Amino acid sequence: MKVILKENIDTLGHIGDIVKVAPGYARNYLVPKGLAMEATLKNAKALEHVKRQMEYKKNKILEQARGLAARIEALSLNLAHQAGEEGKLFGAVTNIELAEQLKSQGIEIDRKKIMLAEPIKHVGEFTATIKLHPEVSAALKVNITKAE
């Protein structure tokens, strides 16, 4: 019996694949659990329609991420922190603070998407990577100065 998978199943395949399985496996397990549907002509056409819609949405989200990445890369954050004689900060600049600064600039980013190799603890220029999409990341320039 041929079925169209609705979910990724390790032993069978990925979403949208048409696979041949034993009729009892399909009737008693895959279809009742909502993991697959029978591979009829009507279901295959509906699947193609859903795939086209998902592809369109995926491309739209990707374009939005690229636009946001361009906005972020054009931006440079300037932060003033208290620091000692040799430029060592009292405390550290973390991704939480960078997210707050971006929010004040009108760009709302989840702090977990801001990647710092380690918290910034010195005065100077640094680059933070922001993962906006699995295929798109942006480099944010951060300039730390000593507060007067």
- Its CATH class, for the domain covering 2-66, is alpha beta
Distance CA 17, CA 104 (A): 46
Nearest to 141 by CA among 94, 74, 89, 83: 74
33: its two tokens: 């659990």
Select from 72, 83, 73, 71 the least CA-distant residue to 120: 83
Question: Do the domains spanning 2-66 and 68-146 agree at the CATH topology level?
Answer: no
Token pair listed for 126: 């640094």
Using one digit for the tens of pLDDT, what is the confidence trace for 95-104? 999 999 999 9
List the chain residues with pLDDT less than 70.
none
Domain parsing of the chain, residue ranges: 2-66, 68-146
In CATH, 68-146 is 3.10.430.100: yes
What's the pLDDT at 73? 93
